[in-house]
Amino acid sequence: MLARFRKNIEAMSGYVPGEQPQGGAYIKLNTNENPYPPSPRVVAAVKKAAGSALRLYPEPMGRDVRALAASIYGLAPNNVLVGNGSDELLSIIVRAFVGAGDRVLYPEPTYTLYDTLVAIQEGVKAALPYAADFSLPEQFFTEKAALTFVCNPNSPSGTLLPVSDIERLARSSGGAVVVDEAYIDFSDANATAIPLLKEFPNLIVLRTFSKSFSLAGVRVGLALAPEEIIAGLVKIKDSYNVNRLSQIAAAAALGDLPWMERSVGRIQRSRKRLIGGLKKLGFHVYPSQANFVLARRQGQNLRGLYEELKRRKILVRYFDQPGLEDCLRITVGAPAEVRALLDRLAAIIKG
């Protein structure tokens, strides 16, 4: 007999990550990776650790990472859970709070992994569209759900909601509220919701090492939350969910915050140049506070432009979904990469 998937698994579409080219000299501006290397301290620490100790299991709770993160963010270690990327933490959270028929609220368009995780649990997607400027609609604050997601800054728009909106949402929600801050380090204001954790027992803030710390390849994320929530999430996580080398890399990265901050500053400067260049080419660009921008040509399907850029060895992200057909999401690269993108876009557009 053939193995049978659950009906909801057979019916759903899985999350599709950004393309990872296997060959060719591509300029890769499609998956929001940092164009700059991680701190030399990270590389040195990983090399030192890549020895006989790899025969041993890693520390199950990521003790060193947990302690360093707690100190940096003004929390206690019991307010921190270390995950195999923030994606694993999202999965743990959905499994913890969502059962069949439970409502999960989030604004759209946003990170589409939320759709997949809700479908796996047979939850009910209760998404509301963002306003035209990517602010939250008033109805969002009156909806009730077992779990609410807000990606802030949002992907794919790069736009940032004020902390007052997060506070209002945490106060009005009848369930858990997750603020996905994967890109918050790139915000000019760094408007994090972390200070709200001491006031709201239903709030969870997620962070990742993939973006600002240049560690997408080691897969480490953080969930920051009241102690009672962290204790519940620990029941669900795998026994040894973050490997030994990843823990060492993350701890070393937290020990060299100035390196990360310099990298962020360089990206912020390149972001300004990218936005200016795209506007000169006739794009509408949303006010990004992330390490990417969303560029729109109103009413034009941009699949062809995406494909032509790919033929010219530049990868950007095209979303074939309602409301985004006339957009490209473009990662902020190094200055030379930004210049190459703008030059090739200009050549294509001007024909």
Task: State the DSSP string of 33-56.
Answer: --SSPPPHHHHHHHHHHSSGGGGS
| pLDDT of 295 higher than 80 | yes
Quick: pLDDT tens for 128-175: 999 999 999 999 999 999 999 999 999 999 999 999 999 999 999 989
Q: The domain 21-37+258-350 is classified under which CATH number: 3.90.1170.50, 3.50.50.60, 3.90.1150.10, 3.40.640.10? A: 3.90.1150.10
Quick: pLDDT tens for 217-245: 999 999 999 999 999 999 999 999 999 99
Alpha-helical runs (H) found in the chain: 7-11, 40-49, 63-73, 85-97, 113-120, 163-172, 227-234, 244-254, 257-280, 303-311, 335-350
Q: What share of the chain in percent tops pLDDT 90?
A: 91
| pLDDT of 1 higher than 70 | no
| pLDDT of 343 higher than 80 | yes
For the chain, the structural domain boundaries read 21-37+258-350, 40-255
CATH no., domain 40-255 = 3.40.640.10
pLDDT of residue 18: 83
Contact in structure between 76 and 161 (CB atoms under 8 Å): no
